[in-house]
Amino acid sequence: MNESRVHGRTVLDSFAEQFRGRLVRPGEADYDDVRAIWNGMIDRKPALIARCACVGDIVSSIRFARANGLPASVRGGGHNAAGRAVCDGGLMIDLSLMRKVEVDPAARIARVQGGAILKDLDTATLAHGLATTAGTDSRTGVAGLTLGGGLGYLARKHGLALDNLVCVELVTADGEVLHASENENADLFWAVRGGGGNFGVVSTFEFCLHPLGPEIMTAQAFYRQRDGREALRFYRDFMASAPDEVNLLAAVAKIPPAEPFPEEHHGQPAVVLVGAFAGDMEQGRSAFAPLESVGDPILKAIGPMPYTTLQTVFEAGAPDGIRYYGKSQFLSGLPDDAVNAVVARTKTIPGAYSLVFFETMGGAVNRVAPSATAFPNRNAAFNFSVLAGWEDTAEDGEIKAWVREFHDAMKPYSTGGVYSNYLSEDEDDRTKDAYGANLERLREIKARYDPDNFFRLNQNIPPKG
The pLDDT tens digits of the residues spanning 367-422 come to: 999 999 999 999 999 999 999 999 999 999 999 999 999 999 999 999 999 999 99
Specify the pLDDT at position 259: 82
Which residues 6+ apart lie within 8 Å of 207 measured at CB?
Answer: 109, 110, 112, 121, 132, 161, 164, 165, 166
Distance CA(186)–CA(123), nearest Å, equals 30
User: Cβ-count burial of 345 within 10 angstroms (0-12 exposed, 13-18 middle, 19+ buried)?
Assistant: middle
pLDDT band at 9 (very low <50, low <70, confident <90, very high): low
198 vs 195: CA distance, rounded Å: 6
Nearest to 437 by CA among 391, 369, 342: 369
Q: How confident is the model at residue 7 (pLDDT cuts 50, 70, 90)?
A: very low
Q: Is the pTM of this model over 0.75?
A: yes
Asked if 329 contacts 418 with a C-beta cutoff of 8 angstroms, the reply is: yes
- Residue 271 corresponds to which amino acid? V
Q: Which domains does the chain have, with CATH numbers?
A: 11-94 (3.30.43.10), 101-211 (3.30.465.10), 215-422 (3.40.462.20)
Q: What is the CA radius of gyration of the chain?
A: 22
**Strand stretches in 315-404, DSSP E:** 323-331, 355-360, 382-390
Q: What is the widest separation between alpha-carbon atoms in the chain?
A: 78
Three-state DSSP at 205 gives strand
C-alpha 358: how far from chain center: 14
Q: Which residues contact 23 (CB under 8 A, 6 or more apart)?
A: 12, 15, 16, 48, 49, 50, 51
260 or 79: which leads in pLDDT: 79
d(CA 253, CA 397): 20
Residue 301 β-bridge partners:
220
Average pLDDT, stretch 129-140?
96
In this prediction, residues 260-268 reach a mean pLDDT of 89
Please report, as a single letter, which amino acid is at residue 126: L
SS3 of 228-285: HHHHHHHHHHHHHCCCCCEEEEEEEEECCCCCCCCHHHCCCEEEEEEEEECCCHHHHH
Q: How does residue 257 score in pLDDT terms, banded at 50, 70 and 90?
A: confident
* pLDDT(2) > 70: no
Q: How far apart are CA 67 and CA 24, in angstroms?
A: 19
| Single-letter amino acid, residue 130 | L
Inter-residue contact 75 to 96 (CB < 8 Å): yes
Look at 154-168, 260-274, 442-456 and tell me which has the smallest mean pLDDT: 260-274
| H or E segment and range at residue 16 | helix 11-18
Task: Supply the pLDDT for residue 256.
Answer: 85
pLDDT at residue 53 is higher than 90 = yes
